[in-house]
A = this chain, B = another copy of it.
Amino acid sequence: MEKTKNRLEVCLSPAIYDKHSDDENLVVIVDVLRASSSICTAIHNGVKSILPVATVEEASEMKQQGYIVASERDGFVLDFADFGNSPFNFTREIVKGQEIVYSTTNGTRCIHMASHSKAVVIGTFLNISVLADWLIRQNAPVLIFCASWKDRFCLEDTVFAGALAERLLGSGKFETICDAVSASIDLWNLAKTDLPGYISKSAQKGRLASKGLDDCLEYCLTADQTSVIPVFQDGRLIDVSKVNEVMLNL
């Protein structure tokens, strides 16, 4: 007998996460500008693993233990860190074969919040097609979790959630009664013909531009630049191809 369709939901803020939380979920963490994009870039460029840490204190401690540390708060590189949160920092020359500690204002906290789930993966425009195909194959409920900005609603993460949700629903394998899915798909369809133009009105674009950090905007909004799917496993983000699916319990 055909299995019933799997549940699809979008969570628009970490403040609402406990309303969507379910141990059975595959959770897609979305922090388009810029943590998701940086993590995908680092793994694409051959990083051995990324250790996302939630607090500045942990990041600082890991630096003293000798790790390379990428860490920002509010767009400012922390003084003990090697570099910040731009995907352009994670070049092949710097990251290949390395273990990198990573801590940001919003995205890394969400990874830990969702770590009780069946699997936690990282989603962004850079890997949207391979990610959608992988999620469709897993036959499990999916929660797209927007990291947002300090718990406030955030346009760019929501638009990405809509782009991914549309592909998942289009597969016929998912169903939803979540208003955030409908709204995010509608916003994606408004944005998709000129994504950088649409996102230019977002608060995060303004925050990045005021610090000269918006040079990565076009890159972060360009689909399908990598086939990696970062997955959170034993405290580390690695490519899903490196993980035995039995270990993921899928």
Contact = CB atoms under 8 A, between A and B. Distances in A.
Contacts of A149: 179
Contacts of A204: 179
B183 A183 contact: yes
A149 B20 CA distance: 13
Contact of A187 (B150, B186, B201): B186
A24 interface: no
A206 interface: yes
Nearest to A176: B203
Given A13-B15, A13-B16, A201 B180 contact: no
Interface residues of A, number: 29
A177 B158 contact: no
A74 interface: no
A15 B11 CA distance: 12
A111 interface: no
A117 interface: no
Contact of A178 (B13, B178, B179, B203): B203
A152 B179 contact: yes
A19 interface: yes
A40 interface: no
A203 B183 contact: no
A49 B90 CA distance: 62
A152 B177 contact: no
A177 B10 CA distance: 23
A248 to B, nearest CB: 28
Interface in A132-162: 149-155, 158
Contacts of A177: 203, 206
Contacts of A19: 15, 150-152
A180 B206 contact: no
A113 interface: no
Most buried by B among A153, A182, A206: A153
A128 interface: no
Interface of A: 10, 12-13, 15-16, 19-20, 149-155, 158, 177-180, 182-183, 186-187, 190, 201-204, 206
27 contacts: A10-B153, A12-B153, A13-B15, A15-B15, A15-B16, A15-B19, A16-B151, A16-B152, A16-B153, A19-B150, A19-B151, A19-B152, A20-B152, A149-B179, A152-B178, A152-B180, A153-B178, A153-B183, A155-B179, A155-B183, A158-B179, A178-B203, A179-B202, A183-B183, A183-B187, A186-B186, A186-B190
